[in-house]
Each structure stands twice: as structure tokens, then as C-alpha cells.
């Protein structure tokens, strides 16, 4: 990779002033010597092998083949073909100096039909064993997400998956116990669910992600998204309890959940209603899951007051489970990308309103943008909001934070030269790492690691292959991998930041 390294060395000398928003200056602040870095992916987005070796269909296998298409006419049947390229991809990670790799397991690759009485696919087990062993052989720590949006289609067909709490919990418990049994001797970091907010709202209210439930007949977007969230919370707690009671002592691992969220600033900083809206939006986004899971208590009072009977109630047994398991969560998994302005609307809300009638925007009342835009208009460089988010989560939950996803797609990245010389992404990453350093050393927040999203360009859900979040470029015709300059930036910046405090 000497040629790519030379390209990166030359790019490092180039000024970031060419970028939009050049007033943002990267300081390359220090990070703790034991701070870990790596990259994250999701099974459906990179694996391919959609029906290879006995894999069953997931909701994304079905959703991405609907007509008319809801995924830009594209699917992930092959995508990066990671299923057949483990050795190449792990060697690539090693060459970039990664400490850890966060990936998800495809439930339907392990149990094709998904249910607690359904057969196990040993070929799927073998695939993940090979991946885990390859990572460890290269001194890369595996971090496993059990569920990243891809429930087996068979469970959705049987009982609508998350909408049946009792059935889903039982099936998910069996799947999780199987994974702990087969992989837990080597996996020491577990995540139960990735981004339950997205599963609940985008999969079951507005229909922009699989299973697109709200677009079906006889759906109730007023109540069903909250039922989905309720199911996830209780399923998480059940699996945490199983891990603690049956596996943790012998396997010596940690388990938690990953929550995503923007930070919010008031649209008009002089209006109390907008100031309050910023806090309320965080409670509806993060507190919805964080308070029951990390505090062992009921939903935030603001949610109960606004949603009333739309929000499911925890039984005494549920609350006992939450109280018994909240302290077992070993870290707070944070997926964070950007910050938005919010204002409290006074017009009547829709019946299925999920934001507490709060409007989000990238521009405030003065016409000021929150930050330079990436190739996704909602994702803007706003490192100050990231620092505030780290503080908000730490103050509320007092758990060590792992930044389990953070990254961006560059403007103009369809051009290969821009994609490789991805100065916008390097600027974004550098600023967000500086915010982590400030949160640690100036604010006293405990942040233990950073996983960039994503290892490589991949199938970006409903956007298909348009946005490119990877630090490694993938040519989807040839499947050639080419590290971008941001990959070398990350490798070198962690070497230098650690050296400063060694």
C-alpha cells in the first residue's frame, strides 16, 4: 500500500481551508494511551451471500426487493461480499492499525427461520467463528452486535416480530443464548440492539426502513412504534440477565446496548419554549430507552405526560427486571453524527406525532447553519454539539462511553479522486476526536473508545449505494478495496495522540 500511503502523505500537507466551513480548526488534542479505536459495520450492509450456505431471508432481504423499489433500485445481495472475503478484510484492518472491529451477526444466517424451535445453521456459525478467529489472530478485538435491524422475515411473517413482545422476547433470548454459547469464549464485548429508536420510528412509523410496517394495511402508527420500543427494552433486559446469570462469570465479558441520537440546540436561544424543546427532544430520543435500561426506572415523565395511553406501561415484574439488570450494562454505546436546532411548534400535532410537536432544522432563527453539510444534508460538522452530547449522557447515566459509530459521507465523493483524498471526512473526524479529548480532560467524561462508521463503503439502507461512509473505498463493480486518506489519517493520528501521553 506504499502508493496509497504516499498519496496520503501528500494530502496531509494540503490545507483544510479548501473545505466549506474552513473556520473549524483541528487541534489534534491528546487521547488516553488505553483509548481504543476501530471501525464498525453491519451484517446486511457488507456481507452479501444473501442466500449462501443456508442463510434465511431477513426483513431487509425482502424490503430491498420490493417493487416499486424503496432502496434506490438497489439491494445488498452481493454488496461488499465480505462473506467471501474475510481474510482480505481482516488483513486490511490490521494494516490500518485498528484495535477493534465492531460487526453484527445476521440472525437469519445463524437461525434461518429465527424461532426458538427452528434449526440452527452450522454453516452460519462457522462463518462467524472464522471471522472471530481471524480477528484475534491479527490482535484485533471483536465487538459483536446481536441485532442490527435485520430480524428474520419468518418471524415478521409469523407474528410481526417486535409487535408481539412475548413471542419476540422468547425467540431473541434463544438466539442470544446460542451466540453466547458458541462465541462467548472469545467475544468479550456484546451489544444487544443497534439504535432502537430507528427500529421503532423509521421501521414502524414512517416506513422508510424495513419492514416498512406503516405502509401495510391495518397498522396503527399512533401506538405501534412505542410497542416496538417497549419490546426492545424488555428483550434487552432479559438477555442482559441471561448473560449475567449464565455466562459473564466464566466468559468475563461486557454487554450493553447502542443508542443513537443527535444533540439539540434551541432554534431561538432567547425563547424558553425552544430551550425546553432541546431538552425534551433528547428525552424523547435517548431517555426513551436510556432511562429504563441505564437507570432501571420508568419512561421519562415528559413522555408519559405527552403520550399517555399510547406509551405501554411496565408491569411490576418488568420494573423489577429493569432494576435487577441496569447496573450490569458495562458501557454506554453512543452512535452520534450531528446536531440540529429545534423549536416548539404551537400548531396542533398529528395524532401519531413522535417528537412532542418539536421541529428539527439545520438553521436557527438568525439564519445560521449548525455547520458545513456533508453529502447528506442532515449530517453537518458540529463538534461542539458532540461534546455537549457526551456530557449530557455522562451526567445522566454515569457509564463509560464507547463511541460506537461516528463518521460522514463527503460531498462529491462519487468522483474517485475526491473519495480517496477525502479531506472533508478527515476534518470531520479530527474535530470530533478533539471533542472527545475535551470531554475527557476538561469535562471529566469517561470515554473509552471510538469506532468510525464505517470500515468500507457499503449498502446504505434506503439510500442504496449513493452515500459513501467508508474509510475504505469499494468499487462495487470489481469489489476492489482502496483505503482512503482518512484511513491513514486515523492510523497516524492515534499513534501520535497516544505518543503524546505515553
| Distance linking the first and last C-alpha atoms of the chain | 28
Residue whose C-alpha is closest to residue 144's, from 183, 117, 109, 113: 183
Pairing relationship of beta strands 263-266 and 401-405 according to DSSP bridges: unpaired
Distance of alpha carbon 129 from alpha carbon 444, whole angstroms: 38
In sequence order, which residues have a C-beta less than 8 Å from that of residue 194 and are 6 or more positions away? 42, 104, 145, 147, 148, 149, 258, 335
Distance of alpha carbon 476 from alpha carbon 81, whole angstroms: 10
Over range 335-364, report the average pLDDT: 97
Selecting from 3.40.30.10, 3.20.20.80, 3.30.70.260, 3.20.20.140, what CATH number does the domain 2-501 have? 3.20.20.80
Give the three cell numbers for residue 436: 472527545
Distance of alpha carbon 105 from alpha carbon 114, whole angstroms: 13
> Please, which residues bridge with residue 333 across strands?
258, 402
Q: Is the pLDDT of residue 65 over 70?
A: yes
**What phi, psi does 235 have (nearest 5°)?**
-65, -40
* Of 107-116, 412-421, 488-497, minimum mean pLDDT range: 488-497
Distance of alpha carbon 382 from alpha carbon 391, whole angstroms: 15
Residue 26 · residue 430 · CB < 8 Å: yes
pLDDT band with cut points at 50, 70 and 90 for residue 400: very high
Within a 13 Å sphere around the CA of 196, how many CA atoms are in the beta-carbon half? 31
pLDDT band with cut points at 50, 70 and 90 for residue 85: very high
Q: What's the mean per-residue pLDDT of the chain?
A: 95
At how many degrees (to 10) do helices 224-246 and 288-295 cross? 20
Q: Is 180 helix (H, G, I), strand (E, B) or coil?
A: helix
Q: How high is the pLDDT of residue 220?
A: 94
Residue 308 · residue 297 · CB < 8 Å: no
Q: SS3 sequence, 461-480?
A: HHHCCCCCCCCEEECCCCCC
Q: How high is the pLDDT of residue 1?
A: 45
pLDDT band with cut points at 50, 70 and 90 for residue 215: confident
Q: Residues of the chain with pLDDT > 90: what percent? A: 92
| Domain residue ranges of the chain, discontinuous segments joined by + | 2-501
Q: How high is the pLDDT of residue 17?
A: 43
Residue 90 · residue 129 · CB < 8 Å: no
Distance of alpha carbon 411 from alpha carbon 251, whole angstroms: 44
Largest Cα span, the chain: 62
Distance of alpha carbon 83 from alpha carbon 48, whole angstroms: 6
Q: Is the pLDDT of residue 368 over 60?
A: yes
pLDDT band with cut points at 50, 70 and 90 for residue 13: very low
Q: How high is the pLDDT of residue 24?
A: 80
Grid cell 475527557 in the structure block, residue: 440
Over range 210-234, report the average pLDDT: 93
Distance of alpha carbon 309 from alpha carbon 272, whole angstroms: 28
Q: Is 376 helix (H, G, I), strand (E, B) or coil?
A: coil
Q: Is 351 helix (H, G, I), strand (E, B) or coil?
A: coil
pLDDT per residue as tens digits for the range 271-282: 999 999 999 999
pLDDT per residue as tens digits for the range 446-483: 999 999 999 999 999 999 999 999 999 999 999 999 99
Within a 13 Å sphere around the CA of 79, how many CA atoms are in the beta-carbon half? 28
Over range 7-35, report the average pLDDT: 65
In sequence order, which residues have a C-beta less than 8 Å from that of residue 203 and are 6 or more positions away? 149, 209, 210, 211, 212, 213, 228
Q: How high is the pLDDT of residue 214?
A: 81
Residue 109 · residue 124 · CB < 8 Å: yes
Distance of alpha carbon 5 from alpha carbon 134, whole angstroms: 25
pLDDT per residue as tens digits for the range 142-195: 999 999 999 999 999 999 999 999 999 999 999 999 999 999 999 999 999 999
Distance of alpha carbon 18 from alpha carbon 308, whole angstroms: 51
pLDDT band with cut points at 50, 70 and 90 for residue 3: low
Cα distances from 63 to residues 73, 83, 172, 310, 354, in angstroms, run 11, 21, 21, 27, 24
DSSP 8-state class, residue 309: G
Name the residues annotated as catalytic: 195, 405
Cα distances from 418 to residues 11, 216, 415, 425, 485, in angstroms, run 11, 41, 5, 10, 10
Over range 383-393, report the average pLDDT: 98
Q: Is the pLDDT of residue 74 over 70?
A: yes
Q: How high is the pLDDT of residue 497?
A: 74
Over range 213-238, report the average pLDDT: 93
Cα distances from 90 to residues 39, 58, 190, 197, in angstroms, run 11, 25, 19, 31
Helix segments in 160-195, DSSP class H: 165-183
Give the three cell numbers for residue 228: 416496538
Q: How high is the pLDDT of residue 216?
A: 77
Residue 226 · residue 308 · CB < 8 Å: no
DSSP 8-state class, residue 324: H
Distance of alpha carbon 491 from alpha carbon 37, whole angstroms: 9
Calculated CA dihedral for residues 209, 211, 213, 217, nearest 10 degrees: 130
Helix segments in 14-104, DSSP class H: 43-46, 59-63, 86-95
Residue 114 · residue 155 · CB < 8 Å: yes
pLDDT per residue as tens digits for the range 308-330: 999 999 999 999 999 999 999 99
Pairing relationship of beta strands 36-40 and 100-104 according to DSSP bridges: parallel
Q: Is the pLDDT of residue 18 over 70?
A: no
Amino acid at each position: 500500500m506504499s502508493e496509497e500511503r504516499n498519496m496520503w502523505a501528500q494530502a496531509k500537507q494540503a490545507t483544510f481551508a479548501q473545505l466549506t466551513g474552513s473556520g473549524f480548526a483541528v487541534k489534534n488534542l491528546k487521547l488516553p494511551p488505553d483509548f481504543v479505536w476501530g471501525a464498525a459495520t453491519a451484517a446486511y450492509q457488507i456481507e452479501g451471500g444473501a442466500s449462501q450456505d443456508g442463510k434465511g431471508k431477513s426483513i431487509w432481504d425482502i424490503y430491498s426487493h420490493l417493487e416499486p423499489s424503496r432502496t434506490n433500485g438497489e439491494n445488498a445481495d452481493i454488496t461488499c461480499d465480505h462473506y467471501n472475503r474475510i481474510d482480505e478484510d481482516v488483513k486490511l484492518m490490521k494494516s490500518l492499525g485498528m484495535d477493534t472491529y465492531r460487526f453484527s451477526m445476521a440472525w437469519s444466517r445463524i437461525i434461518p427461520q429465527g424461532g426458538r424451535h427452528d434449526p440452527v445453521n452450522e454453516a452460519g456459525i462457522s462463518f462467524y467463528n472464522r471471522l472471530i478467529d481471524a480477528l484475534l489472530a491479527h490482535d484485533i478485538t471483536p465487538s459483536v452486535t446481536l441485532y442490527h435491524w435485520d430480524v428474520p422475515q419468518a418471524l415478521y411473517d409469523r407474528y410481526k416480530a417486535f409487535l408481539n413482545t412475548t413471542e419476540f422476547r422468547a425467540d431473541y433470548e434463544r438466539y442470544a443464548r446460542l451466540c453466547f454459547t458458541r462465541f462467548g469464549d472469545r467475544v468479550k464485548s456484546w451489544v444487544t440492539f443497534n439504535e432502537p429508536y430507528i427500529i421503532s420510528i423509521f421501521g414502524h412509523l414512517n416506513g422508510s426502513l424495513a419492514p416498512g410496517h406503516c405502509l401495510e394495511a391495518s397498522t396503527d402508527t399512533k401506538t405501534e412504534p412505542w410497542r416496538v420500543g417497549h419490546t426492545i427494552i424488555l428483550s434487552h433486559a432479559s438477555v442482559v440477565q441471561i448473560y449475567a446469570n449464565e455466562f459473564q462469570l466464566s466468559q468475563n465479558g461486557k454487554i450493553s446496548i447502542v443508542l443513537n441520537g443527535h444533540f439539540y440546540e434551541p432554534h431561538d436561544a432567547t425563547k424558553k419554549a425552544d430551550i425546553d424543546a432541546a431538552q425534551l427532544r433528547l428525552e424523547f430520543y435517548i431517555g426513551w430507552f436510556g432511562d429504563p435500561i441505564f437507570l432501571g426506572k420508568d419512561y421519562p415523565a415528559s413522555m408519559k405526560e405527552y403520550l399517555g395511553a399510547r406509551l405501554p406501561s411496565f408491569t411490576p415484574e418488568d420494573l423489577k427486571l429493569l432494576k435487577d439488570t441496569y447496573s450490569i450494562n458495562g458501557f454506554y454505546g453512543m452512535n452520534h453524527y450531528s446536531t440540529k436546532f429545534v423549536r416548539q411548534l404551537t400548531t396542533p400535532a398529528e395524532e401519531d406525532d413522535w417528537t412532542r410537536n418539536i421541529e428539527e432544522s439545520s438553521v436557527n432563527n438568525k439564519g445560521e447553519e449548525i455547520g458545513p453539510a456533508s453529502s447528506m444534508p442532515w449530517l453537518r460538522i458540529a463538534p461542539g454539539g458532540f461534546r455537549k452530547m457526551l456530557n449530557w449522557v455522562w451526567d445522566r447515566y454515569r457509564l463509560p462511553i464507547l463511541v460506537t459509530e461516528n463518521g460522514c459521507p463527503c460531498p462529491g465523493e462519487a468522483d474517485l479522486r475526491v473519495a480517496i483524498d477525502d479531506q472533508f471526512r478527515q476534518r470531520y473526524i479530527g474535530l470530533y476526536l478533539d471533542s472527545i479529548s475535551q470531554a475527557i480532560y476538561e469535562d471529566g467524561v469517561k470515554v473509552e473508545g471510538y469506532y468510525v462508521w464505517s470500515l468500507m463503503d457499503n449498502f446504505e439502507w434506503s439510500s442504496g449505494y449513493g452515500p459513501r461512509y467508508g474509510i475504505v473505498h469499494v468499487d462495487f463493480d470489481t469489489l476492489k478495496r482502496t483505503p482512503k486518506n482518512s484511513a491513514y489519517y486515523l492510523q497516524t493520528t492515534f499513534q501520535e495522540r497516544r505518543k503524546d501521553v505515553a
